[in-house]
Chains A and B, each alone.
Chain A
Amino acid sequence: MITQIDVRSVLARLGSDQRDLVTRPTGRAVRSSIEEELAVLAEAAGYAVVVLDFTDVRLMDLSCADEIVAKLLQAWVGPAAPGRVCFLVRGLDDHQIEDVEHVLQRQQLALVAESGGVLRLIGEVADPWRIAFERLAERGRAAAEELAADLAWPLDDVRSALDQLALRSLVLEESGQYLPPCAA
């Protein structure tokens, strides 16, 4: 199940006529509102792919990148999370992606970003995982064996990389196949 959240609309619901995500109080308010939606999703579905769409947001500062993106990942990804959510961000320009990447790296977090129709991992990710993800994103869906053949890697290494990616909600696993979030 893929749910798209228009972050600009969330901002508007909070009563703001602005298009800029700036300051921590704003970031916290936007995150709280998104979390209300996530709580409903987590109850209704076992697993949710959530696309955070920033297309109509004019600018986002580092404070909001941390309060919205990083803190959503901290709360909703991992064994203690209240639901299983896989996040994908869309609509950020290259500089914004770079800024979000720094925010995530500092906290050992990672996320899938869609930019120009291409999926990429941003944040703190080991190189083999990144390579495995990129190949998987090209294929759209694959079993570990298929990726191992593609990459000419030992199967155990590929399995390990994919399992780590799945553990961090960067890819999904369905009936022995792995897929990037947008292919769910």
Chain B
Amino acid sequence: MSAVIDVPARFDEWAFDQFAAGFAAAEGASRALVDAHACEWISPFGFVSLLAAGHALQERHGRPAILTVPADRDVAHFWARMGFFTHAKEIFELHGTVPRVRGGDSRVLLEVTPVRAAEDVHNVVQQIQERSAEILTSELGLDPKATMGFGMALSEACQNIVEHAGTGGWVAVHAYSWKKTLGKRVVVIAVADAGVGFRHTLEPTQGKRFGDRWGDGAALEAALLQNVSRFRDPGRGQGLAGIRRYLGRWQGKISIRSGTARIAILPPWDEGEDQVMKENLAHFPGAQVQLVIPAGAQETR
């Protein structure tokens, strides 16, 4: 029996739990149909999470899930310009009209890009530094110093896939208006995979330490707040700490979802709107990371 997983009309990190619940509910089905026909807007987090879901469904069922292309022509064109379909056709059976587009969108900081190996991380960072540094500074008013750290944060976020996921993933970087709590433009880095997740990665070294508390939430806490790594080398486990420092300087926000939990470090502009830790969420494989940097942020020390 097939199961239908609805893609929310506005698919961003806020709507992800709705999508993850549908994903989890489709567990026993022989095949899944991921229905995006009514999707009107999608964030980079939505794009990369959708691909992670497609990857997981393909592994779960041994064949690609069906993905219906957004019915709205403009929305479908946007998805095409973001490079989504280029990668989606490898893991989904696409139903609907996929628009043909020439090249990418020059205003996009980084189209949906696969991350499988260290070389991919190099290419992603180089692309951001050379193609997008000017957009980050001139259009978004980011301090030039912030764009250097931006590359570092992007690199470390992508390397988490290469080093820990046990499989490939995707990254996308866009700028858009964050009306909900900020009322201005933001730059968003989204990275997602459908790999083993933080709990599995850290369990051999951290499970006993946490005892009964051990779970997806504890694993996220260990990784993000305590800088713990699965490696015994004390030089490891510093990537997320570096990202936190960078975001702290520029009033940015990080959130990580893995398994059944989500952790976030909240800047002042988002306090009261979001929670630091959410547990007992619908299970979703791998790890999904979002970094948000507000436009025009002034450095804080």
Which A residues have a C-beta under 8 Å from some C-beta of B? 16, 18-20, 22-26, 58-63, 66-67, 70-71, 93, 95-96, 98-99, 102-103, 106-107
Contacts and interface: CB of A to CB of B under 8 A. Distances in A.
Given A58-B129, A66-B235, A103-B238, A25 B118 contact: yes
B129 A71 contact: no
B200 to A, nearest CB: 21
Given A22-B155, A59-B129, A59-B151, A102 B242 contact: yes
B138 interface: no
Contacts of B236: 66
A63 B122 contact: no
A20 B126 contact: yes
Contacts of A58: 129, 148, 151
Contacts of B152: 22, 59-62, 99
7 contacts: A25-B118, A26-B122, A58-B148, A62-B156, A62-B239, A63-B239, A95-B246
Contact of A95 (B163, B234, B238, B249): B249
Interface of B is mostly: helix
A71 B235 CA distance: 8
B155 A61 contact: yes
A26 B152 CA distance: 14
Given A58-B148, A62-B152, A63-B155, A22 B238 contact: no
> Chain A binding site: helix, strand, loop or mixed by DSSP?
helix
4 closest cross-chain pairs (CB), A and B: A66-B235, A23-B118, A62-B242, A22-B155
A30 to B, nearest CB: 13
B125 interface: yes
Interface in B218-256: 227, 234-236, 238-239, 241-242, 245-246, 249
B235 A23 contact: no
B242 A24 contact: no
Given A20-B151, A23-B121, A25-B118, A63 B156 contact: yes
Contacts of A93: 145, 148
Given A59-B148, A66-B235, A71-B235, A23 B155 contact: yes
Nearest to B148: A59
A131 to B, nearest CB: 23
